[in-house]
Homo-oligomer: A and B are copies of this chain.
């Protein structure tokens, strides 16, 4: 079903490139989709990838350029002259072109735009350059079919014919008034089945969901997911039609957000992958390890206060990992549920007192279960009774309190505008390690004094 890129395949291509075996290369490339060609380039060295790329026709090359991983693309396009790059960009849609131009130095970008023969496209790209990549404007393409509300179907088909070179796929035909204000949409099916003289005004749907250009990419994703849209028109604050965003770009936004959240939960900052340099990978992980380490040092100082106690009752030390691990596990469980709730679109019933109370009951149930099992285990294993009680009481308290901090931390982070997923990672385990130790030794202090 899917093309599987193997080392053998790459070696064959490398040999073919070395031998300038264009017949073999063309044959292989014609079998592939552009999404399969892009990753091949990364596996070749510069001279080889350039040769392979230049063997593609401009249209395919333009699409391959669109699909290449942006980090690698910045490096790859350095091999192309400004004229060459402009030739490919001529075949791209405005959003993809703007992405590539944004990766270039400003001067290079301006030169490329100046070289474009399609002046409409040049204007489109220039419009898109000033949008932030994480907002609706940064995701949209300018190419779309729009029909004036006063037109008839025949005029609309003429417009489609005129635009058909620019627009790869028609999703919807947007209906606008004389001032370019978005009024609604009409489906291609409707146009196809209507008479030439039918007025657009009579067949268009006025109910249409659109987003303003300044909206955050996550918001756009949420709207498109919720309303099952494959394309959404983008308007400015006056409601004038600016462009449209297709679902494929939004799928990437959703996937990247999920990966980012998982990385954040795992204590890895930024979006690094295994292709990044050792230093970049280390830099993305070390801060979180250091936070954990500082927590550990603080924990050591704290336990140090009880040095004499431990000398007298060394069994106290045995259960330290049990206490801290339980606190960490409960904290992560509670916080991740809240993080997901915050990420989802929730009704008014979220975070009511009732929910909090329910969370509290779940914590009590789990706390009783864990503390009870440990009590049983320790009794069976013949641990000293007082120590057994201290551990169980501490465990129960840790489960309740870790559940509380795990619930509150993401809510507070969300309130102050920080990604709440941050709370579901090393942050919460470190906090709960300290919390657990404090509870454990406090409980022990009181119980052993009795």
Q: Does A55 contact B (CB under 8 A)?
A: no
Whether the Cβ atoms of B336 and A263 lie closer than 8 Å is yes
Q: Does A198 contact B (CB under 8 A)?
A: no
- Interface 0/1 of A127-148, CB less than 8 Å to B: 0000000000000000000000
Closest to A258 in B: B258
Whether the Cβ atoms of A282 and B365 lie closer than 8 Å is yes
- Interface 0/1 of A291-333, CB less than 8 Å to B: 0110111011101100100110011111111111110111011
In the complex, which residues of chain B have a beta carbon less than 8 angstroms from the beta carbon of A73? none
Whether the Cβ atoms of A1 and B300 lie closer than 8 Å is no
Q: Does A266 contact B (CB under 8 A)?
A: yes
Closest to A279 in B: B365
Q: Does A433 contact B (CB under 8 A)?
A: yes
Whether the Cβ atoms of A359 and B274 lie closer than 8 Å is yes
Q: Does A117 contact B (CB under 8 A)?
A: no
In the complex, which residues of chain B have a beta carbon less than 8 angstroms from the beta carbon of A161? 193
In the complex, which residues of chain B have a beta carbon less than 8 angstroms from the beta carbon of A35? 226-228
Whether the Cβ atoms of B212 and A228 lie closer than 8 Å is no
- Measured between C-beta atoms, what is the minimum distance from A226 to chain B in Å? 5
Q: Which one of B255, B300, B374 lies within 8 Å of A254 (CB-CB)?
A: B255
Q: Which one of B262, B318, B321, B339 lies within 8 Å of A340 (CB-CB)?
A: B262
- Measured between C-beta atoms, what is the minimum distance from A162 to chain B in Å? 11
Question: Among the interface residues A320, A335, A430, which one has the most CB atoms of the partner chain B within 10 A?
Answer: A320
Binding site for B on A (CB under 8 A): 1-2, 5-7, 9-10, 33, 35, 39, 42-43, 157, 160-161, 164, 167, 169-171, 187-189, 191-193, 209, 211-212, 215, 219, 222-230, 246-248, 250-252, 254-255, 258-259, 261-263, 265-268, 273-274, 278-279, 281-282, 285-286, 288-290, 292-293, 295-297, 299-301, 303-304, 307, 310-311, 314-326, 328-330, 332-333, 335-337, 339-341, 345, 347-350, 355, 358-359, 361-362, 365-366, 369-370, 373-374, 377-378, 381, 399, 424-426, 429-430, 433, 437
Whether the Cβ atoms of B321 and A281 lie closer than 8 Å is no
